[in-house]
Amino acid sequence: MFGYELQDGWTIYIWLISGAMILVAVVFWLRWAANNEQFDEDIKYLVFDENDEDKMTPEDFKKSQEVNAYQVKRRQELLAKEAAKNT
């Protein structure tokens, strides 16, 4: 129709390039997630507070309090770092 035809076998190169781009994007995403504390197994404890002691075992409640205290401390550190960066 337009006087131009692609040769046989060109589609494999598009698939290879697309696959390589996806793999690079996944590597960058995983690196970002690891650097930004996204792989935290203790996140399940953040939904609980002091009023939920009766819903948990004593060990889980203690762990929940430790995780919450750490998260509050980490948040304050990050906010202080962000404030220092903006001034």
Quick one: pLDDT band at residue 7, thresholds 50, 70, 90?
A: confident
Please say if the pLDDT value at position 48 is more than 70.
Answer: yes
Give the pLDDT confidence score for residue 23 in this predicted structure. 98
pTM of the model: 0.58
SS (H, E, C) 28-80: HHHHHHHHCCCCCHHHHHHHCCHHHHHHCCHHHHHHHHHHHHHHHHHHHHHHH
